[in-house]
Amino acid sequence: QVQLQESGPGLVKPSQTLSLTCTVSGGSISSGDYYWSWIRQHPGKGLEWIGYVFYRGSTFYNPSLKSRVTISVDTSKNQFSLKLNSVTAADTAVYYCARLRGAGTRGWFDPWGQGTLVTVSS
Amino acid sequence: QSVLTQPPSVSGAPGQRVTISCTGSSSNIGAGYDVHWYQQLPGTAPKLLIYGNNNRPSGVPDRFSGSKSGTSASLAITGLQAEDEADYYCQSYDSSLSGWVFGGGTKLTVL
């Protein structure tokens, strides 16, 4: 079965760029009608969808974060990545990668990675 | 303020039935977009519990069920067990926001 694992720095300085990678195992990132997504959860709070990438490279972002977000895919490594620039303390959160499946806007997220805490602090 | 509104907490005794509501609007649930539910155990990632309003993935007990009507949806848990103590989130799509949205989460306490 497909498994996802996030990796990247746990501490980022304000105004810098947060960079995370999600490695997909147990299946090809290029197979099927899946959209590879990033979701975050602020400490003690709810979930916020950040955006997704299709294996062919097309992307779709949360309009509230669109100006700062870039999601890309590397099919040769079975990975996809998140870059969030100009971070502030408000970007401190647990970041999850997840597979968006289902028919387009009817989609749901499954499975999820275990999540990685990123703290923005000097 | 989440786009989908859930009660912050619910509780029930072992064996009882509880329901968790998820209230949306005409741009998400009311527009016909499906509702999905996730269970998040303490310190872990969310796990899919219900998809497509009322479908259970393989491995999810039939004690969990979902329903949707109008601009709202509900998750019902029967035969409550101690291991059900977790946070529960609903999720849908919102056409006004052009993206996937979640409820604020409901903490279930098993008394």
pLDDT for position A33: 81
Structure tokens at B74: 């509900």
CA–CA distance, B7 with A45 (Å, rounded to integer): 14
In terms of Cα–Cα distance, which of A38, A120, A33 is closest to A79?
A: A38
Taking an 8 Å cut-off on Cβ atoms, the answer to whether A63 and B97 are in contact is: yes
Helices (H) and strands (E) in chain B, counts: 0, 9
Closest Cα in chain A, distance from residue B40 (Å):
11
pLDDT for position A104: 81
Q: In this structure, what DSSP letter does residue A64 have?
A: T
Q: What is the mean pLDDT of chain A?
A: 95
CB B90 within 8 A of CB B97: no
- What would the pLDDT profile of B18-71 be if each residue is shown by its tens digit? 999 999 999 999 999 999 999 999 999 999 999 999 999 999 999 999 999 999
Q: How many CB atoms lie within 10 A of CB B73?
A: 28
Residue B84 zone, left/alpha/beta (φ > 0; ψ -120 to 50; rest): alpha
First to last CA, chain B: 28
pLDDT for position A105: 85
Q: pLDDT tier at A108 (50, 70, 90 boundaries)? A: very high
CA angle A115, A120, B1 (to 5 degrees): 70
Q: How many CB atoms lie within 10 A of CB A56?
A: 8
Residues of chain B with a CB closer than 8 angstroms to some CB in chain A: 2, 33-34, 36, 38, 44-48, 51-52, 57, 89, 91, 93, 95, 97-105
Q: pLDDT tier at A30 (50, 70, 90 boundaries)? A: very high
CB A102 within 8 A of CB B51: yes
Taking an 8 Å cut-off on Cβ atoms, the answer to whether B89 and A47 are in contact is: yes
CA–CA distance, A65 with A69 (Å, rounded to integer): 6
- What would the pLDDT profile of A65-100 be if each residue is shown by its tens digit? 999 999 999 999 999 999 999 999 999 999 999 999
Per-residue HEC secondary structure of B2-54 comes to CCEECCCEEEECCCCCEEEEEECCCCCHHHCCCCEEEEECCCCCCEEEEECCC
Position of tokens 């977790």? B86
Q: Which residue of A has its CA nearest to B97?
A: A63
